[in-house]
Amino acid sequence: MATTNSFSIRWVKSSYSVDNGGSCVEWAPEHAAASGIVPIRDSKCADGPVLTVSLHAFAGLVALAQSADL
């Protein structure tokens, strides 16, 4: 995990996240498109750690989330 300056990145909340205080995941699609690295964070902890993964790994995480019985 890496710390990323949250002010220079536009974060987008995952469509799987809800606004009831539960699990809220954000990612930065513009940063991902420009760099090939996808930053992911907990929206409730904007100044906390940021997980960074490759585009390929992120696609795998999305596929896993879509196939999970949530």
**pTM to 2 decimal places:** 0.74
3-state SS string for 33-61: HHHCEEEEEEHHHCCCCEEEEEHHHHHHH
Q: What is the pLDDT of residue 66?
A: 85
Q: Where are the alpha helices (DSSP H) in 14-54?
A: 29-35
Q: What is the pLDDT of residues 23-65, one digit of tens each?
A: 688 999 999 999 999 999 998 888 999 999 999 999 999 899 8
| Gyration radius of the chain over CA positions | 12
Distance CA 39, CA 12 (A): 11
7 has pLDDT over 90:
no
